[in-house]
A and B are shown apart, each in its own frame.
Chain A
Amino acid sequence: MTPRPIIEARQLTKSYTIDDRRIQVLDDVSLSIRAGEFAVIQGSSGSGKSTLLSVLSGLDRPDSGTVRIQSQDITTLNEDDLAPLRNRTFGFVFQSFHLVPSLSAHENVMFPAELNHNPKAADEANKLLERVGLGMRSRNMPHQLSGGEQQRVAICRALINRPAIIFADEPTGNLDSRSGQAILELLLEFQREYDTTLLMVTHNPAIAQQADSRFQLADGLLTPPMAN
């Protein structure tokens, strides 16, 4: 028996209009991803990968269509209803890290746990940072860290509440290939260990090779998953 899909999108459309010109970024996109799966979205630059990820994760609204997360329709939810979902069910890793600049590495990591009223937030954040080799840098502010270090902090932050799904948008895009590789391995390691669903946008064919399913995005259309 196939497990119920944790992410289920139906007929998503999204377009932008600039100076009377309409760009159809998503055109009737449907997909479903099973819990615990590692899925990859591929496509050329500007094909709408980031847009799709934003819509699936509730960071953006589609023009039409629905997104169900664990059977719940999130397209109609307002921002506050989405908050617990973002806090506990989702974890985000971005190409440009997006760490809170006024918080130290340690504070960035423990922030989602604190929002969740986890009394052991500080300890768990420390453990995660140790684990990614940043135990010594936990007091540093984001601007005092290198790109690879910042991304490792961002991964710890995405994981601290043990989310069911991690959305990663080109997490290695800003890094050299060595540290990029390290980041990817880290993500996959956590994915297996925590049994989370990982939905990642990547250009890296080697990584794509390891995915459970791959989606190809072109001209707003999604090619059905190719199972590896």
Chain B
Amino acid sequence: MLPRLILRELRQNRQQTTVLFLCIVLAVVGLTALGGFQANVRDAMLRDARQLHAADIIVRSSFPFLAPMEDKLRAYASRGDVDVTRVWEFYTVVRTMDESASLLSAVKIVEPGYPFYGQVQLASGNKFQTVLAPGEIIVEQSLLDRLGLEIGSRIFLGNTAMTIRAVVVSEPDRPVTVFTLGPRIFVAASDRGRLGLITQGSRVRYKALLRLPENLSPETVQKDLWETADAAQERVDTFRSADSRLKRFFDNLLFFLKLVGIFTLLLAGIGIHSVLSALLRTRIKSMAIMKALGAPTAFILRLYLGLVLFLGATGTIAGIAVGLMLQETLARLLIDLIPAETTFRIAWDAVAESFLIGLLAVTLFAARPLLNLRRFKPAALFRHETASGRLRPAEGLTVVLTALFFIGLVLWHLEDLRTGGYFVGGILVLIAIVFAISRFFLASLKRLPTRHLIVRQAIRGLFRPRNATQPILVTLTASLTIIYALFLIESNLDRAFVDAYPEDIPNIFLVDIQRHQTDALAQMVDQPLTFYPVVRAKLVAINGQAIDPRRERRRKSDNLARPFNLTYRQHLLDDEKIIRGEALFDDTAGKFQVSVLERIATIGNIRMGDRLRFKIQGVPLEATVTSIRTRIREGLQPFFYFVFPEATLEAAPQTIFTAMRADSDRLAALQNQIVKTFPNITILDARQTIRQVAGALERFSRAIRFFTLFSIAAGILLVISSIVATRAARVREAVYYKILGARGRFVFYVFSLENILLGAASAVAGLVLAHLISWVVCTRYFDIPYMGYGMASLAGLLFGILTVLAVGLGASRTIMRRRPAQFLRTHAAE
């Protein structure tokens, strides 16, 4: 009997059960897709973690290893059971033999042992270690293509001619090819001295890779090496601890997407709650009758619990199915960015998790309306009112459980206690604010004296008995807030990306220019150039307090322990503004002063008057902060955290660089000319990179937009469900108006106004809150400038009001044209 009754309920309330079903599907879809995607990408990264780093232990530095580290490495190498190999990486320009073409390339010098794990794959299929020989190099295909060469050709690497022996297809410890400035060149370590490329000052990444025997734990060795390492410049990682840039990147992206997923779940959950409440409200009479006929509460409870569980199970399964399909979509959106070895299979643990979350969410969000059932007494048959809204202990418990579930979910998914805490706190505050606003709004409306009939009827409509206007207003406002906020954050992120890559950004960087070459260079390229002197240095102390490199590395944003590029000049740049201090420098403060960029001042908590101690190639320099600057435009223009007066740094060891824009057709000729005249100057062609980065960013924003769509869909569903919930009462009212002689227009105006009041109140409140939230998120979390998008906000406001209006009116449309007798009959029965 129960299944039949459940089926009948489903059929009789098709509209509401459909919305309920969709809510459940939406609740599960996002998290399933993200969970599966993350599981797969992480799997791929962990499975191949050793290969991704080609070693058990990786020691890295931007400088040659210091003596203690060298000694330690040598000691390990001589143990017999530990293998050590060295790798040097840097960029340099290669030239064809006739000097007609040149190209910036990423050189990797490796010792014979490399790689310990994984394979360097060659196009020929031959073994890397046997192919790489002195005097010969192995290159990426794109180098051949761009320089018009083939295997066997010779090119200049520095001043040495080398023969191209083979083409490399992939290497284990460079899985992602997005952020590179040029094609790879492998060089044997025995050629290192001959090439003479590694000199003081050129930017080389020094690496030592270690392979350990089974009985030696990487963590022990890591600890041992840590003790010898100079924390300021040497880094020791195991293949497990080394979190690749890739992993960090995905963690950040998924973090944001998961926030969106949780929002979707929350919205969908509230949707479940409100649809179910509305459905049960229309059932009061029937339930009272059932009870009056002797049906125990448990029977009625089972009926609707059965309904909820049936919808919950089917909805969750459907949601998971869609989610699994979407995980592929996400992979396609982010193609090229995920490790090539990632295979997309069904991550069963993620599926199980989704199923559990789905059912839990459904049960919890449905619990309160279901528990409410117990309150309906057969007396409802005789009285016209429902029970008062006081919370019973059992219901209070479900509220608490729901909150705990939600908080647990946030913490579990965000894997970050503090952010999770902020998130949950923020949501609670949001709900409280929305609640207060709606209460205030309704209270003032109620008191509003109005003589106009239409206005009065519309306002009265809001206070219809059983109308639950307050909860509807709260859910409407909350969902609109979230829709708006997601839109605003997404737009701001998008714009920040686009702004960073305008049409006219410099696409060529000239590095390692010497002082006496600047004039000639400017003349040669025939355009005004800004030359930026660069002095490499480390910040060692602030006000005498030493910088702790280990702590610095834990920062999510920039850290103070990395080497900085200092510069000197007497003027502000076009895109800079002083925010503390009178001018860039204080004329009375002497030589040892420095101007600091706001961003790093914030990170390091640096204030005016602080004393910063730098070390420039071992030489200490201490200066007082006399101004703090900010940039008025974000973009690719070069910027410097620390600017000194000319007199202070002029004499320091330095290089000069400049940025320029060159059209593609001129570029090759220019490049050759520069390389020929000034062989020391390195040309970085950023065009490819800019294209790739811009493409990648576009893909991220597509992925983000894709997921925010779910949240927005859930929000709209919520709007629909809460309006549909009041449909019955509205239809009845329309019938009464008509019987009493109101024209369709009157009914239309009253309902429109009622919906507009509802829509406008929630849209305005939602928009204000959304701006607040987005502002905080953009400026605090993403660190990007905030833009309000006035026109779009207005459009969003209109969209919100019109959606509420359309859904609200849609529900009462048929009644306008048809004769009222039929409606009267059905509603008299209620």
Contact = CB atoms under 8 A, between A and B. Distances in A.
Interface in B716-761: 729, 732-733, 736-746
Interface stretch (A90-98, A180-188, A207-215): A90-98
A111 B739 contact: no
A128 B743 CA distance: 25
A102 interface: yes
Interface string A68-89: 0000000000111001111110
B463 A115 contact: no
B810 interface: no
Interface stretch (A3-11, A53-61, A191-199): A53-61
A114 B746 CA distance: 12
B460 A115 contact: no
B49 to A, nearest CB: 66
A163 B745 CA distance: 22
Contact of B741 (A78, A86, A100): A86
A175 interface: no
B741 A59 contact: no
B453 interface: yes
A102 B435 CA distance: 23
Contacts of A92: 739-740
A96 B830 CA distance: 10
A86 B747 CA distance: 15
B821 interface: yes
Contact of A102 (B463, B740, B819, B821): B463
A80 B828 contact: no
A141 interface: yes
A112 B738 contact: no
Contacts of A54: 819, 821, 824
Interface string A24-50: 000000000000000000000000000
Contact of A141 (B465, B744, B828): B465
Q: Which of B463, B736, B739 has the most CB of A within 10 A?
A: B739
A143 interface: yes
Contacts of A58: 819
B464 interface: yes
B419 interface: no
A78 B820 CA distance: 12
A101 B465 contact: yes
Contact of B819 (A60, A88, A101, A161): A60
A59 B820 contact: yes
Given A79-B819, A103-B460, A143-B385, A98 B741 contact: no
A152 interface: no
B159 interface: no
Nearest to B464: A102
Contact of B743 (A80, A96, A157): A80
Interface residues of A, number: 37
Interface string B806-825: 00000000001111111010
Contact of A115 (B464, B746, B821, B824): B746
A61 B822 CA distance: 10
Given A60-B819, A96-B828, A143-B385, A79 B740 contact: no
Nearest to A150: B384
B740 A87 contact: yes
Contacts of A87: 740-742
A100 B736 contact: yes
Contacts of B269: none
Given A86-B738, A100-B733, A111-B740, A59 B821 contact: yes
B821 A112 contact: no
Given A60-B819, A102-B465, A83 B824 contact: no
Contacts of B383: 143
B506 interface: no
Contacts, number: 87
B741 A94 contact: no
Contact of A83 (B384, B463, B743, B818): B743
Contact of B465 (A96, A114, A143, A157): A143
Contacts of B821: 51, 54, 59-60
A60 B740 contact: no
Interface string A97-113: 01111110001000110
B742 A115 contact: yes
Contacts of A94: 824, 828
**Main SS at interface, chain B:** helix
Contacts of B463: 102
Nearest to B745: A80
Contacts of B461: 102
B453 A114 contact: yes
A78 to B, nearest CB: 8
B742 A83 contact: yes
Contacts of B745: 80
Contacts of B465: 101-102, 141, 143
Contacts of B732: 101
Nearest to A145: B384
B464 A98 contact: no
A218 B416 CA distance: 78
Nearest to A92: B739
A36 to B, nearest CB: 22
Contacts of A61: 819
Q: Which of B736, B737, B746 has the most CB of A within 10 A?
A: B736
B740 A115 contact: yes
Interface in B773-830: 816-822, 824, 828
Interface hub of B741, B743, B816, B818 (most chain A Cβ within 10 A)? B741
A50 B368 CA distance: 41
B730 to A, nearest CB: 10
A72 B729 CA distance: 34
Contacts of A100: 733, 736-737
Contacts of B737: 100
Nearest to B460: A102
A87 to B, nearest CB: 2
A148 to B, nearest CB: 14
A161 B739 CA distance: 13
Interface in A142-157: 142-143, 157
A14 to B, nearest CB: 10
A54 B737 CA distance: 16
B464 A101 contact: yes
B740 A112 contact: yes
A27 B729 CA distance: 35
Given A59-B821, A98-B824, A79 B744 contact: yes
A85 B744 contact: no
A114 B742 CA distance: 10
Contacts of A95: 828
B155 to A, nearest CB: 86
Q: Which of B733, B739, B740, B820 has most A Cβ within 10 Å? A: B740
Interface in B461-511: 461, 463-465, 467
A141 B464 CA distance: 10
A182 B691 CA distance: 88
Contacts of A101: 464-465, 729, 732-733
A181 to B, nearest CB: 22
A22 B741 CA distance: 32
Contacts of B824: 54, 59, 94, 98
Interface in A115-146: 115-116, 141-143
Given A98-B824, A100-B733, A102-B465, A115 B738 contact: no
A88 B741 CA distance: 8
27 contacts: A59-B821, A60-B821, A60-B822, A79-B817, A83-B738, A83-B744, A86-B739, A87-B742, A88-B741, A92-B740, A96-B828, A98-B736, A98-B739, A98-B824, A100-B733, A101-B464, A101-B729, A102-B461, A102-B464, A103-B460, A111-B740, A115-B740, A115-B746, A142-B384, A143-B385, A143-B465, A157-B740
Closest 5 CB pairs of A and B: A87-B741, A60-B821, A143-B384, A86-B741, A54-B821
Given A98-B824, A98-B828, A102-B463, 12 more contacts: A54-B824, A58-B819, A60-B822, A79-B744, A79-B818, A92-B740, A94-B828, A101-B465, A102-B464, A102-B465, A107-B460, A142-B384
